[in-house]
Amino acid sequence: MADAVSVMPQAAHPGRTNAQNRRLWFWAFVGPFLAGLLLFVYIPIGWSLYLSFFDARNTVTPTHFVGLGNYAYLLSDELFLSSMGTFVVFAACIVPLTFAFSLGLALLLRRVTFLQAFFRSSFFLPTAVSYVIASMVWRLSFFNGARFGLANTMLRSLGLDPVNWLGGENYWYWFVLVSLRLWLQVGFYMILFIAGLNAIDPQVYEAAAIDGATGFAVFRSITFPLLRGTSVAVAMLLLINAFQAFDEFFNTLNTVGGYPPYARPPLVYLYLISFGGGTQDLGIGSAGTMILTLVILVFSLLQNRVLAIGADR
C-alpha cells in the first residue's frame, strides 16, 4: 500500500504554479500593448530628441551636431511663433465650447427616458468618422464658398449674400474649423460626462430636493462640484487634442498656392518643414516636436493644478 502511494503523482507547489500562470496571462495581454507603445511612441520620441540636436536635412542619420541651434532658430522664427498663436486662438474657441456642449448634452440626455440609447448613439456616432473625410465634406459640400454650397444656399434663402467661408481675407474659416471639431468630438466627451453623472449617488439629489434645492442651484452646488474629477480630465484631453489639430487645417484650408499662414497650427507648420518642402529638415522638425511636447506638458500641469484647486484629497 505504501508503494502504491509513493508512485502517485503529487502536485508540487500549487500556489507557485498559479502565480506563474497569472504572470504568463498578464504578459500575454499586456505584452503586445507595451511592445506597441515602445515601438510607436517611446522610440520615435527618443529618436526625435536625438535628431533635434543635429542638422538633419534629407536624412535620419545626421552627423553634423548643432546643439541647441535648431531650438534657437524656431524660437526666433516668426512663422513658428505665429503657428503657436493659431493654436492659442483655436484652443480658446474649441476647449470651452466643447466642454459646455458636452456637459449640456450629458445633462439633457440624462433626463431623457424615451429612446435614450438612440440619442446617445446618434451624438456619439460622429466620433467614428475620419477627420480627413469630415474635413473634405465640410470643405466641398457645406462651406465651399460656391453658390451651390449648403451654407450659402441657406444664406440665399434668407436673402443674405454668399460668404467666402475659407477665404483668408476674413475670419469665417474659424467658424468652419470650430464647427467641424465640435461635430466630431462632442459625442465622445458627452459619454465621459454621462459616466461621471452616473457615478453621483442619487441620494444626494434626494437630500437636496428635501431641502428645497431645484434647477440651477442643484447643478451649481451639487452636480458640478461632484463632476470635478471628470471635468479636469475632459479639460486636459481637450487641450491636448487642440494642440494636436492637424487634419481639419491641413485638408480644409489647403489652397492652390499652398497653406496660408493662418492655416498653420504647430503640427501643420512642422509637417511642412519636415516633409512638405524640398529640404525635409528633420532636425528643425524634431526640435519643434520637442518644444510642442514641453508646451503640452506645462499647459497640462498648470491646467490640472488650477482646475483641481479645492478638490477632495
Which domain CATH number covers 90?
A: 1.10.3720.10
**Number of folded domains in the chain?**
1
Tell me if 16 is assigned to some domain: no
Tell me if 172 is assigned to some domain: yes
Give the residue, 8 or 115, on which the prediction is more confident. Answer: 115
Tell me if 30 is assigned to some domain: no
- d(C-alpha 95, C-alpha 237), whole Å: 9
Q: Which cell is 63 given?
A: 552627423
What percent of the chain stands above pLDDT 90?
13
Q: Are 49 and 290 in contact (CB under 8 A)?
A: yes
- d(C-alpha 165, C-alpha 145), whole Å: 5
pTM comes to 0.80
User: Is residue 74 exposed (0-12), middle (13-18) or buried (19+ Cβ within 10 Å)?
Assistant: buried
Instruction: Report which of 303, 181, 190, 305 is spatially closest to residue 241, judged by C-alpha positions.
Output: 181
Instruction: Report which of 304, 265, 311, 308 is spatially closest to residue 288, judged by C-alpha positions.
Output: 265
Maximum Cα–Cα distance across the chain? 105
Confidence grade of residue 313 (pLDDT, cut at 50, 70, 90): very low
Residues 214-221: contacts with CB under 8 Å, at least 24 apart = 219/107
Amino acid at 90: F
User: 187-196, 214-223, 240-249: which has the highest mean pLDDT?
Assistant: 187-196
In three-state secondary structure terms, 281 is strand
In three-state secondary structure terms, 53 is coil
Domain range holding 219? 71-307
Amino acid at 118: F
Tell me if 201 is assigned to some domain: yes
Q: In the predicted model, is pLDDT for residue 158 greater than 70?
A: yes
Tell me if 49 is assigned to some domain: no
- d(C-alpha 228, C-alpha 192), whole Å: 12
Q: In the predicted model, is pLDDT for residue 185 greater than 70?
A: yes
In three-state secondary structure terms, 143 is coil
Backbone torsions φ then ψ of 311, nearest 5 degrees: -75, 150
Q: Which cell is 233 given?
A: 480630465
Q: In the predicted model, is pLDDT for residue 5 greater than 60?
A: no
Tell me if 110 is assigned to some domain: yes
Tell me if 284 is assigned to some domain: yes
Tell me if 144 is assigned to some domain: yes
Confidence grade of residue 186 (pLDDT, cut at 50, 70, 90): very high
